Amino acid sequence: MIDVCDIQVMKPLLAQHGFHFSKAKGQNFLISRWVPEQIAEYSGVDRNTGVLEIGPGIGPLTQQLALRAGKVCAVELDRRLEPILKQTVGEFPNLQIIWDDVLKQDIPALVKEKFPGLRPAACANLPYYITSPILSALLEAECFDTVTVMVQKEVAQRIAAKPGSADYSAFTVFCQYYAEPELLFDVPAHCFLPQPKVTSAVVTLHVRKARPWDIADSDVFFRTVRASFAMRRKKLANGLAAGFPELGKEGAAEVIRLAGFEENVRGETLGIPEFARIANEIVKRKAMA
């Protein structure tokens, strides 16, 4: 197996195929072997697991996943990597590469087709510029047991944040609605070529088998969350009135009161159960209108 994390191996390999890093695609390749080894290890992948990998690059994480998993299906957009991946991961019979944009894939259908009888997991070293759309697609697919990703450290902190903290956001609530996050470890910039300007971190999202909240309408719930964070450090009533113009200020204040909160409550201090109560009051009010 070619050690693609060894810079003395990687550079000649890339040169041989005339490959140049694409800034537009956010390409930063790992040059520290411990990182893909740890990601694969922490992800809990074994012979009973089918892994969807997003963006294999030149294959460092792909190698480690293929050594452990029952099957790996890697989705890669950049066809310039095809001859390189043939050299670096071509030996694995349990690996299939799909040359496409993962955001154009029907992820649940793909998982069903590729991993019959296997526990589905997702794993990725996500480009910074497209982290949120891909992570959202993986969670909304609702077909994985775990989603383990390397992202910008501040994004990992946001995913795992607690209500009331500086990192807490609408994206936090979205991720924690679908999964329970576990921060694993940081990855310094010097572990990549070229070096990014930020530290990365690895996080596993343990997808919820059930959601322990009574949410009457998930669309209204997420709209409530977005409205609540649209005006940070202002009263929740202001955000709700702007996000639900049909409520108006008085209606927003009444919804908050009926949900059992003080009128000056701020959205960034609330957790999922509290947002659920507010959203359910809005649903009731709509039904009565």
Burial label for 262, CB within 10 Å (0-12, 13-18, 19+), is exposed
Q: Are strands 192-193 and 29-30 parallel, antiparallel or unpaired?
A: antiparallel
Q: How many CB atoms neighbour CB 77 within 10 A?
A: 18
Backbone phi, then psi, for 22, in 5-degree steps? Answer: -105, 115
Spell out the domains of the chain, with CATH numbers in brackets. Answer: 7-207 (3.40.50.150), 218-288 (1.10.8.100)
Whole-angstrom distance, CA of residue 267 vs CA of residue 113: 41
* Structure-block tokens of residue 129: 């510029």
pLDDT tens for residues 156-207?
999 999 999 999 999 999 999 999 999 999 999 999 988 999 999 999 999 9
CA atoms within 13 A of residue 23's CA, in its CB half-sphere: 2
- Sheet containing strand 49-54, edge to edge, reads 95-99, 71-76, 49-54, 119-125, 146-152, 200-207, 179-187
Angle at 37 between CA 32 and CA 40, to 5 degrees: 135
**How much is the pLDDT for 273?**
96
Q: pLDDT 10s per residue in the chain (289 long)?
A: 999 999 999 999 999 999 987 777 677 899 999 999 999 999 999 999 999 999 999 999 999 999 999 999 999 999 999 999 999 999 999 999 999 999 999 999 999 999 999 999 999 999 888 899 999 999 999 999 999 999 999 999 999 999 999 999 999 999 999 999 999 999 999 999 889 999 999 999 999 999 999 999 999 999 999 999 987 767 899 999 999 999 989 999 999 999 999 988 999 999 999 999 999 999 998 888 6
What predicted TM-score, i.e. pTM, was given to this entire model? 0.94
Residues 6+ apart with CB under 8 A from 212: none
Whole-angstrom distance, CA of residue 200 vs CA of residue 153: 5
How far lies 167's CA from each of 73, 148, 273, in Å? 33, 20, 19
DSSP state for residue 235 in the 8-state scheme? B
* Structure-block tokens of residue 92: 């694995």
State the average pLDDT for the chain. 94
